Amino acid sequence: PLSLVWLRRDLRLHDNAALYYALKSGRPVIPVFIFDRVILDALDDRLDRRVEFLVQEVNRLHDELAKLGSTIIVRYGKPVDVWKELIETYTIGDVFTNHDYEGYAKERDKAIGELLAERGIGFHTSKDQAIFERDEVLSGKKTPYTVFTPYSRKWKDTLTDFYLKSYPTENYSSHYWQTKPEPAITLADMGFQPVGEPFPAETVSDKLLDTYNETRDFPALPHSTSQLSIHLRFGTISIRELARQAKAADDQTFLNELCWRDFYFQVLDHFPHVEQYSFRREYDQIEWRNNEDEFDKWCRGETGYPIVDAGMRQLNTIGWMHNRVRMITASFLCKHLLIDWRWGEAYFGKKLRDYDLSANNGGWQWAAGSGTDAAPYFRVFNPTAQAQRFDPKSVYIRQWVPEVDKPSYPKPMVDHAMARQRAIDTYRKALAKV
């Protein structure tokens, strides 16, 4: 019998927990990747950077495994159907995989675990994508943290080298099942098309780590942040290796960002209601205006607020937006336009190449004020002041909105002072109900 490793958001052969345990199982090992039709059929754009990245990376694994005399089993379908087929096709002893914290994924894994158990096949799951997960960082009262700062303090106190050790899969390369390469999959096989632009590199320089604290809020600087998000999303880099590098460079600010990532994983895991509702349920009383024309202007980057428009156009063009600008555009949608954060969350979810439910939901609920680290509702970002502070020479703005100084550029779609007061009044009214 074989040990199968089901790869999902951990697309690498090095330092991979599930793969390591499979390789140590004593049975020949073969990785599996499923292009999940439950997810892919719901995408309405056939040009999708995520799918393009997945195909590229799965094919890279295919080639790496071919060099080791093995292969990866690739399927396109619904996981339950695929696993039923795999059980028929192969003699499977055990299946190994890494944890995922999203509601859909948890239910999927439960169903697959049950299916495998019915056939007497073991299903073993490990922590891999987070440094600390679930109940590993709890408050003194043994409850999950719901505010970042105390969480991060505990997270940093707990973070010894032990937790950042790599899983040395390379010591067991001879344990892969020796077999002929399976055919590779293409985007066209699944009805998708490539954009064809290269993706950011999967490395971060020590130079960036040295300057990150000073540069990270300035979107005009070409390397102000690491752009590693797509690699962290799909596990083409190891979180442990990255955190070791940040720790060695003593970059506390960068480590803090990795801590945010863990924080939002555990929020989603402990409070799954956030996928649909406000973390603070009283915020679901807000009477959103939800004007569709205004939403369209925001999506297209035609609000008349240059920093908002620059961010939205960056997102629409390259599938990534700088963090500072994500905060500004999200706040503008929720507060200035009073559009439900879930609309913005879904739009980012369609467009971001690094889309991750936990961080995206956390970011949006933060902007709406409904989340774990709620800023007081009366604090409303002023997009003009934010632009003056973080893009003082309008370099970023001009890159994405070249017509900003021309008469054709639209006037602001709402007056800041009016919109600010309207947001405060609306929030106050909603919160007074509870």
Q: Which residues are catalytic?
A: 257, 260, 288, 323, 341, 364
Angle at 386 between CA 287 and CA 339, to 5 degrees: 15
Indicate the Cα dihedral angle 364, 367, 370, 373, nearest 10°.
100
Helical (H) or strand (E) element with 385: helix 383-390
Q: Which is nearer to ligand FAD, 31 or 344 (CB)?
A: 344
Is 52 annotated as ligand-binding?
A: no
Least spacing, CB of residue 381 vs ligand FAD, in Å = 11
Least spacing, CB of residue 284 vs ligand FAD, in Å = 18
Is 260 annotated as ligand-binding?
A: yes
Q: Which is nearer to ligand FAD, 31 or 319 (CB)?
A: 319
Is 263 annotated as ligand-binding?
A: yes
Is 46 annotated as ligand-binding?
A: no
Helical (H) or strand (E) element with 365: helix 357-368
Least spacing, CB of residue 373 vs ligand FAD, in Å = 10
Is 234 annotated as ligand-binding?
A: no
Whether 171 and 25 have beta carbons less than 8 Å apart is answered as no
Q: Which is nearer to ligand FAD, 10 or 94 (CB)?
A: 10
Q: How far apart are CA 137 and CA 154, in angstroms?
A: 7
Q: Which is nearer to ligand FAD, 35 or 332 (CB)?
A: 332
Q: Which is nearer to ligand FAD, 177 or 355 (CB)?
A: 355
Least spacing, CB of residue 5 vs ligand FAD, in Å = 23
Is 61 annotated as ligand-binding?
A: no
Binding site for ligand FAD (CB under 6 A): 216, 225-229, 232-233, 257-258, 260-261, 264, 323, 326-327, 330, 348, 352, 354-356, 359-360, 362-364, 367
Amino acid sitting at position 67: K
Q: Which residue is nearest to ligand FAD (CB)?
A: 363
Q: How far apart are CA 306 and CA 396, in angstroms?
A: 10
Neighbours of 395 (CB within 10 A): 12
Per the listing, tokens 């909105």 go with 401
CA torsion sign for 311, 316, 321, 327 is positive
Q: How far apart are CA 19 and CA 8, in angstroms?
A: 12
Per the listing, tokens 């999927």 go with 108
Least spacing, CB of residue 395 vs ligand FAD, in Å = 18
* 3-state SS record for 262-286: HHHHHHHHHCHHHHCCCCCHHHHHC
Known binding-site residues for FAD equal 212, 225-229, 254, 257-264, 354-356
Known binding-site residues equal 212, 225-229, 254, 257-264, 354-356
